[in-house]
A and B are shown apart, each in its own frame.
Chain A
Amino acid sequence: MSEPAGASTVFETRGLTVRYGRNAAIQSLDADGPAGSVGLLGPNGAGKSSLIKTILGLLRPAAGTVSVLGRAVPRHAVEVRRRVGYMPESAVAFPGMTGFENVSYAGMIAGMPRGEARRRAHEVLEYVGCGEERYRHIEEYSQGMRQRIKLASALVHDPELLLLDEPTNGLDPGGRSEILELIRDLGHQKGIHVLLSSHLLDDVEAVCDHVLVLARGELRVAGPIAELKQRFAGERVRLTMEGSAARFLELARAQGMEALLPDPLDPSDCLVKVPAGAAPSSVLKLALQSGARVRRFVPRRASLEEVFLDTLDDGGAGAA
């Protein structure tokens, strides 16, 4: 397994503010994008796409600075775009061309010689799983095939950093998992830094090691996913009692724990969130104190979705 090469920080913003007229899409953002695969999470309007466009130098900051791969943007935007591959959110393509022509043309305008661009286009199309369809016109493609062509176009000049804006949009479950597998491979095996913007938490969790959570143009939380899960959501514990868990639930809630019955028809099964700083075994002790006989005790890690929702709920109180 090869880690992406280069500096430990791929991009960084300091006091970044981006405005559309009077509306601030990004507000005083201080963020570091570490090397490897980074997820950019946030609800619609959080400023994810604006951040990507600012990284590309397409939007000019109203205030603050942006640095990508060690170069200041937008001052060195053209230089940065030589080293970056971008897969936009919408179903865009160069019109009137075949899939193959689209990818080789993307290489040519990135600065590759024509022959090299054509050879390389075949390679990356093969990699993204585009067979004979590459010779069909782009207008005849399904959404899934267009996504593959967009990914191949972003990869053709072998970028150091890959910016992916909602790459699984409109894909069926099979296609989605294939694209995610490719992105994971690129970020973890092929030495390319990945910045994946998505509102699909599962996608980010499947591909990324780090996450930046944005809401209303502000950074709510940032850090390694595993650490955030631990830090923000703690752990959940699933307990199955012999008989009713009602008395344990009362006791747990009285001590300020979040506890519930996931299945209202089964009063013996309950789910408890371990309080911050406490060990899962403290829940077991409490259950034994309540006099209940515990048949099953299963500690369960929080999902990224739970971290995300907690982060948005607390208004960024725990922002890193």
Chain B
Amino acid sequence: MPVYDRSYRRWDGELSRRTLRFVPIVTMGVRNALATKGGWFFTLLLRAFMVVSIVPTLLLFFANYALVYKPGFLPRDFLDFLDVLKPFRAIQHPLLTRFNISFLAVYTMLFGSGLIAKDRASGALPLYLSRPLTLTDYVLGKVGIIGWFIAAFTLAPNLLLWIFGVAADDSGHALRDALPSLGPIVAQNLTVIAVYSLTILAVSSLCRRPMFAGLIWFAVVVLLPSFTAVIATRLGLVSLRAIAPNEALYGIGHHLFDVAELSEQANQQASAPTQLVLRPIFEVLEEFGRTPPGWCWLSAAAWCTLSLAIVLVMLRRQDVAGDSARR
């Protein structure tokens, strides 16, 4: 029978001196969030929601596939219609982000609301800060966790769609044609990631119960646009709409992709039936073009700065840092 040594043994390994000390927080946080622990009903609901939320992405992939490969099982008329839409493939990216942001609010609420609130409730902050981590590492780790989920629903599908478009195009100048849209794709989605991550962390740091944090955040992101729209209409100040983070993000996307210019081209080049199809889509996108771009960027920057300030102030007020100890 083997005899196991259960006494304490010294560890002769070398601790990593990496500068990216927040990486283990991100990897473990994502791993934990994916291992759903909310019972079978919640798990089923979440999985069903995930399936529904990838439908817009799948539809756009299918449209691109049909446009390039023209498979025989599709009706000729449909393929001809897709051919007409080809010059306007650039708007698929702001459209996809627009669709995905609708689902993103739910994911952000589910995965982000407890990130700091749970640590506050369980007093885990001293455990983090007694390790070779700084407050900045901790915040970066938490941003990384929620940022990973948001990127999975915004940046990742957009980049995959862009890569697919370039790879499948055999015109010889696909990369040259597609390159100008890469910058706006990355810029808009990184802005979405920054605003959503930091705002959810800010409300999470204000609460000890994830449910409250989630509800407050949902109110800010989903209800504030309606409120600001009413106020903006009453006062006749369109720029006020940019106060709501979602409105600002839509506006940023609109201006980055120059949807107004694309809309103009569409009206000039497309046939009358195609214009009929495109008009409602452009009308939806045009709605967000009314907010001045400067105000949209200012709003996004203000939300990020305010949220980061709230997170840092709340964390420094925690027990381990000492409420008013000189830092």
Partner-B contacts on A (CB < 8 A): 18-21, 50, 53, 56, 58-60, 62, 78-79, 81-82, 84, 86, 88, 90-97, 101, 105-106, 108-114, 116, 120, 123-124, 126-127, 153, 155, 157-158, 185-186, 190-191
Chain B contact patch, size range: 35 or more
With A94-B122, A127-B6: A21-B323 Cβ-Cβ less than 8 Å: yes
Q: Which of B70-120 contact A (CB under 8 A)?
A: 118-119
Q: Which residues of A contact B167 (CB under 8 A)?
A: none
The CA-CA distance from A237 to B117 in the complex, in Å, is: 58
A101 vs B127: C-alpha distance in the bound complex, in angstroms?
A: 14
Quick check: is B326 within 8 A (CB to CB) of the other chain? yes
Contact B327 A108 (CB under 8 A): no
**Contacting pair A112 B9 (CB below 8 A):** no
Q: Which of B9, B15, B124 is the one whose CB lies under 8 Å from A110? A: B15
A59 touches B32 (CB 8 A): no
Residues of A within 8 A of B326 (CB): 19, 60, 62
A-B contact count (CB 8 A): 122
Q: Is the CB of B130 within 8 A of A86?
A: yes
Q: Roughly how many angstroms separate A126 CA and B268 CA in the complex, as a whole number?
A: 75
CB of B251 to closest CB in A, whole Å: 37
Smallest CB–CB gap between B170 and chain A, Å?
43
Q: CB of B265 within 8 A of chain A?
A: no
User: Within the assembled complex, what's the spacing in Å between the Cα atoms of A8 and B285?
Assistant: 71
A127 to chain B, nearest CB (A): 5
Q: Which of A59, A96, A120 touches B118 (beta carbons < 8 Å)?
A: A96
State whether A191 and B132 are in contact (beta carbons under 8 Å apart), knowing that A19-B325, A95-B121 are contacts in the complex.
Answer: no
Contact A123/B9 with A58-B130, A59-B322, A88-B130 known, Cβ cut-off 8 Å = yes
A-B contact pairs, 19 of them (CB 8 A): A18-B325, A56-B129, A79-B132, A81-B133, A92-B123, A92-B124, A95-B121, A95-B124, A96-B32, A109-B132, A110-B131, A111-B15, A111-B132, A116-B13, A127-B6, A127-B8, A157-B15, A158-B11, A186-B8
Shortest Cβ gap from A71 to chain B (Å): 12
Q: Which of B17-25, B150-158, B294-302 contacts A (4 or more CB under 8 A)?
A: B17-25
Cβ-closest 7 pairs across A and B: A111-B15, A158-B11, A92-B123, A86-B130, A21-B324, A108-B24, A111-B16
Closest to B25 in A: A109
Separation in Å of the A193 CB from the closest CB of chain B? 13
- Which residues of chain A have C-beta atoms less than 8 A from B122's C-beta? 92-95
Residues of B within 8 A of A97 (CB): 32
Task: Give complex CA distance A153, B127 in Å.
Answer: 9
Main SS class of interface, B: loop
Question: Given the complex of chains A and B, what is the CA–CA distance between A186 and B128 in angstroms?
Answer: 23
Contact A60 B132 (CB under 8 A): no
Beta-carbon contact of B24 and A20 below 8 Å: no
**Contact of A112 (CB < 8 Å), options: B4, B16, B28, B126:** B16
The digit string for B291-327, where 1 denotes a CB below 8 A from any CB of A, is: 0000000000000000000000000000011111111
Report if A106-B127 is in contact (Cβ < 8 Å); known contacts: A94-B122, A158-B10.
Answer: yes
Shortest distance from the beta carbon of B4 to any chain A beta carbon, whole Å = 8
Residues of B within 8 A of A58 (CB): 126, 129-130, 320-322
Please tell me if the beta carbons of A112 and B323 are within 8 angstroms of each other in the complex: no
Q: Please give the distance in Å from A69's CB to the nearest CB on chain B.
A: 13
Q: How far is the CA of A127 from the CA of B7 in the complex (A)?
A: 6
With a CB–CB cut-off of 8 A, which chain B residues contact A190? Answer: 8, 10
Q: How far is the CB of B211 from chain A (nearest CB, A)?
A: 14
- Taking CB atoms, residues of chain A closer than 8 Å to B15 are 82, 110-112, 157
